[in-house]
Structure 1
Amino acid sequence: MFRRTGLISTLIGLLALLLWTPGAARAADGECAVLAPGASAAAERAVGAACAQVAAGVWYTWGGGHGAQPGATYGQVDPTDPASEHDPERLGFDCSGLVRYAYAQAAGSDILDGVAAGQYYTHRAAERFTADQGIAPLVPGDLLAWGTSQKLHHIAIYLGAGKMVEARQSGTKVMVSDVRLNGDYFGALRVDTGAVTGHVFQTWGTGVWTRAAPSVGAARVYAFPQSTTIRVQCQKHAELVTSDGYTNDAWSYLPDYKAWMTNIYIKGPAWLDGVPTCT
């Protein structure tokens, strides 16, 4: 015969079982999975590919995942991080290497090759979210970034329920973490794995800055570290620029960066074919 306290405990346990949901349990116990509705099938595949690395106990390695094809690679020693001394011995991913691999698996092609900044500013962005918006508008598979407009240094994949999967730092493995909105959280984006839209071009040169206005004296926004695929919205005649043996007064507006770039460093004619004039 149950004592009264035992009966009450039993009833509470039964009630908890009735109210239990798989998603809530996953969010609580740190399992890596899609933890909220709303994601596209491709985004869910990206989450699954990243979570498989958690399950396999794959290491963070500095520079890992940036081989000729998406996938884990041996890392390098980061001269600024003593914890990276064993990274050349470990097969794994850094933050952007993991994102690259996850979305390559999801899309069937290498659509996010590059470092964190290049991935955040991708011409495949379907939608962008500011830091002030927090995580409320996000769905699983969205990418979260940390840093500044001049240097983004970290990127991760949102799972839902305030959780993310990331390759965080040397000495750790690919993990599930709470989303960190403090510090230098920069914003997020939703990846479009479908056909690329708009006027797409390739830049050339290294360390080429985009500007807040079509002038070399305007505030710097972001510097392309290498040749990068960009989307151009429109172009206009503005300040005359001479650089690397070329002179041109045409500037293009890049909507993914909310910035301007001299056409000198965009592969193609001085005035880009098919791109409308900015009004």
Structure 2
Amino acid sequence: MTYLGVIGGSGLYEIDGLENPTWTTVETPWGAPSDQILTGTLDGVKMAFLPRHGRGHVHSPTTVPYRANIDALKRLGVTDVISVSACGSFREEMAPGDFVIIDQFIDRTFAREKSFFGTGCVAHVSVAHPTCPRLSAACLAAAIDAGITVHDGGTYLAMEGPQFSSVAESKMYRESWGADVIGMTNMPEAKLAREAELCYASVAMITDFDSWHPDHGAVDITEIIKTLQDNADKGRSLVARLPALLGPERAPCPHGCDRALEYAILTAPDKRDPALLAKLDAVAGRVL
């Protein structure tokens, strides 16, 4: 059965048309998630919405409890996660107000816990293809149907923040590294979703051209907020179309996202830390 989780970023704090909406408190071994989770159904599909920064935007990109967020969604029974987040653009053709369906990441974050695993239970999952093509295709179709200008595929550079880039950094990411957009929140979120065997798709909503653009200069926060508000309306429209596209019945992921841990755990069973295993009950219970 499909259970769709939506992690909403800056500007997106609700799902329109949700039936029987209930704010649910979910406790995790990794601490409290960013907020309560809004659950309900939409077009016969179970939905869970988590505001990434918390209602009222209380968490910075660095302090978002990424592990707790992914664990909480998995603990609820979520099978598929859509990340919706604001970003800056490195490409003239990817303009403010456009959306990008992300398929690659460059992770430049450094102050965040990036794995559920560690000493006592070591695991290595592949993030060569960090987003789910099936779920990304549904997001693309929903965006097109909603009349949104959308780009199919793009590389998202995840920076630590909370400051925006210098001009030198922005030019390096764009010209030398080949990134298409820049944001602060999709890492380690995408890596953790893969460890939790959740299909993950990223919808990046462009708010600005970052600081490389000669005609735009420094990022203007007032312009960003205006574009954020416009993008939020489009984001809700996209999300509202996803249940009908995905349907209530769910087959195993053809790309193996839901089996990512099949051969990932390397620690011998008799050497595994029972305390860590207990914390992994939701994330890795299928293989443990």
Q: TM-score, normalised by structure 2?
A: 0.25
Higher relative contact order (CA 8 A, sep 6+): 2
Q: TM-score, normalised by structure 1?
A: 0.26
Identify, as 1 or 2, the structure richer in strand: 1
